[in-house]
Structure 1
Amino acid sequence: MTSKQNAASLADQKIISLAFRNLCLARELVLPNAWDAASAICLARAGAPAIATTSAGIAWAAGVHDGGGLGPGDAIAALIKIVQATDLPVTADIENGYFLDEPGLIRIIQQVLDLGVVGINVEDSNRSQLMDADAQADRIAIIRQTADRYGVSLFINARVDTAFFGSSDPAERDADSIRRAEKYIDAGADGIFVPGVTDLPTISRLAGNLSVPLNIMTGPGCPSVRDLLAAGAGRITTGMAGALACYEVIEASARELLQEGTYDRLSPALDFSSFNAAMMGAKLTSR
């Protein structure tokens, strides 16, 4: 790619990053999650305004476990394919940044930015334990500075993992969530993501104490999008739910085929011709 093409790509990325930021700041953003190019194309065909990735889905597609099983090389390789599949804004789940040291963190952020990504999720846990909040705030500041030097308005969605690894006392957990969120916002985070929280009163308490949009991860059995937004959620994602649903169909239909000799679980299915044509077209925007 020539320097002129690089300049043009960066200019486009800057415009897309601002458009994605506006989507987030509207506080009514609903994003299903993708884990490979095909799932990204499915979401674009369904009308998603942007593509958000799920690190769990990417890890499983690579044959490794979520929460530390995916290395930065495989994560970037998967992200390349997803970005190439659509012209929609892409926000990437980069777990805890894959590197705890500053040079490694800067390197992964630069790689993500080089792909044209305009948003990230970065979590504050490592090996199933919460990281020190001050240290995590320092890492978020490094990410902010790296993106600013790059010239892209990267939307940093800071994940707070207190629902998974925090206090068992609800009041203490909420207080820690807010304390961590405030530190991350002061460091440059643009949004706060608290996965594992789906009850409406807690969402209202958290959202009422935040100056930035609150991201909630939802799925089967959770309140509706309308109720979540009314409670104060500003961004709603499905995380690994879509990948788990797909893999359930694969496993259940294989069991049916092998044990019963029938194929009912494979219906309904996408039409081969239209879906294959979508793959040939690639770079799909939502419609």
Structure 2
Amino acid sequence: MSTLQEKATLFHQSHMKGNPLVLVNVWDAGSAQAIQSAGATAIATGSWSVAAAHGQQDGEAMPFQLVLDNLSRITASVNLPVTIDIEGGYGKFASEVKENVSQVIHHGAVGVNIEDQLTDGIGLYTVEEQCLRLSAAREAADEAGIPLFINARTDVFLQNAPEQHNHTLLEKVLIRSNAYAEAGASGLFVPGLQNPQLIQELCERSSLPVNVMVTSREPLPKQLAELGVARISYGPYPYLQAMEHLKKFGRNILSGS
């Protein structure tokens, strides 16, 4: 793949309902190369993992320039499409989101995650506010001539305990899904949703391909594919597993065993 446009087109085509794109989230160039070597068809960062790997907290605490520098090293080290998680876009206003998305494209990304959770983690942007922000991201992509995959994350489910997930919340998500699609989003990301029945109904009714996040070995991609999921990501799980392995490796060496 020689151009960013080709990578972006391929990345779009990889989102297929019932045959999902599986993304093992990375945090730096080294982890990106490892996942590429494992047979990945695309590379995705996870904001929590990137922040932790740089000694930072999640929640846009990591300076955006450092986010871009890390992205540049990733895109330069692999030949696969790269999508980046920029949390809430690193800006409250649409103009800020537009500028930041322009920078992300300039540094080689063909996809971006933008969430509707407020930066302090309490509450969500209104549907209208988030649509303005997503539209600004689409404008940035159009001006760059790149068919950027905008993965619109909604935290409706994440901000409610799993036992409270029900059809009332599902309807709220569907309202956002439809509005986000009209604003220029390419996909819908619903972290926190684990209920198979609700996942299946969301996949059936959403006009956008659905991304589900897995934070353990279960459910398997095959099971989520049967529910109609188009994209599966693993968030901080790969980083946490790698760090646990590193700690165990270190303990064994330092204890002399």
Tell me which of 146, 168, 174 is aligned to 2:170. Answer: 174
Q: For residue 56 of structure 1, report the CA deviation from its aligned partner.
A: 0.8
Match of 1:92 in 2: 84
Match of 1:123 in 2: 115
For 2:203 and 2:59, how far apart are their aligned partners in 1?
Answer: 26
Q: In the alignment, residue 134 of structure 1 is paired with which amino acid? A: E
The answer on 1:199 being equivalent to 2:205 is no
For 1:14 and 1:107, how far apart are their aligned partners in 2?
Answer: 19
For 2:16 and 2:84, how far apart are their aligned partners in 1?
Answer: 17
Tell me which of 34, 40, 53 is aligned to 1:42. Answer: 34
The answer on 1:58 being equivalent to 2:44 is no
CA 1:198–1:221: 2 relative to 1, 3 Å: farther
Match of 1:285 in 2: none
3-state SS of the aligned residue for 1:198?
coil
Q: In the alignment, residue 36 of structure 1 is paired with which amino acid? A: D
Q: TM-score, normalised by structure 2?
A: 0.92
For 2:235 and 2:11, how far apart are their aligned partners in 1?
Answer: 19
Match of 2:143 in 1: 149
Q: In the alignment, residue 121 of structure 1 is paired with which amino acid? A: N
For 1:62 and 1:142, how far apart are their aligned partners in 2?
Answer: 29
1:242-282 deviation digits (Å, cap 9, x = unpaired): 00001111223333444x422xxxxxxxxxxxxxxxxxxxx
What RMSD in Å do the two structures reach over aligned CA positions?
1.8
For 2:232 and 2:87, how far apart are their aligned partners in 1?
Answer: 18
The answer on 1:73 being equivalent to 2:94 is no
Q: For residue 51 of structure 1, report the CA deviation from its aligned partner.
A: 0.5
Structure 1, gaps ≥5 residues long: 1-8, 263-287
Match of 1:209 in 2: 205
For 2:243 and 2:176, how far apart are their aligned partners in 1?
Answer: 34
3-state SS of the aligned residue for 1:211?
coil
Q: Which moved more, 1:161-170 or 1:104-113?
A: 161-170
> Which structure has the larger Rg over C-alpha atoms?
1
For 1:170 and 1:70, how far apart are their aligned partners in 2?
Answer: 34
For 1:145 and 1:161, how far apart are their aligned partners in 2?
Answer: 24
For 1:12 and 1:43, how far apart are their aligned partners in 2?
Answer: 21
Matches of residues 131-280 of structure 1 in structure 2 within 5 Å? 131-166=125-160, 168=164, 170-258=166-254, 260-262=255-257
Answer yes or no: is the 8 Å Cα contact 1:198–1:222 preserved in 2: no
3-state SS of the aligned residue for 2:3?
helix
Structure 2, gaps ≥5 residues long: none
Runs (4 or more) in structure 1 with deviation over 3 Å come to 166-169, 255-258
Q: For residue 42 of structure 1, report the CA deviation from its aligned partner.
A: 0.5
Tell me which of 13, 26, 38 is aligned to 1:22. Answer: 13
Q: In the alignment, residue 191 of structure 2 is paired with which amino acid? A: P
Q: What is the count of residue pairs matched by the alignment? A: 252
For 1:171 and 1:23, how far apart are their aligned partners in 2?
Answer: 29
Q: For residue 166 of structure 1, report the CA deviation from its aligned partner.
A: 4.7
For 1:249 and 1:81, how far apart are their aligned partners in 2?
Answer: 24
Q: For residue 74 of structure 1, report the CA deviation from its aligned partner.
A: 1.6
Match of 1:103 in 2: 95
Q: In the alignment, residue 131 of structure 2 is paired with which amino acid? A: A
For 2:32 and 2:231, how far apart are their aligned partners in 1?
Answer: 18
Match of 1:13 in 2: 4
Q: For residue 87 of structure 1, report the CA deviation from its aligned partner.
A: 1.0
3-state SS of the aligned residue for 2:223?
helix
For 1:142 and 1:149, how far apart are their aligned partners in 2?
Answer: 11
Q: In the alignment, residue 90 of structure 2 is paired with which amino acid? A: Y
Match of 1:33 in 2: 25
Q: For residue 148 of structure 1, report the CA deviation from its aligned partner.
A: 0.8
For 1:70 and 1:161, how far apart are their aligned partners in 2?
Answer: 21
* Structure with the bigger percentage of helix: 1
Aligned identity (percent) is 33
For 2:8 and 2:128, how far apart are their aligned partners in 1?
Answer: 27
Match of 1:6 in 2: none
Answer yes or no: is the 8 Å Cα contact 1:62–1:74 preserved in 2: no
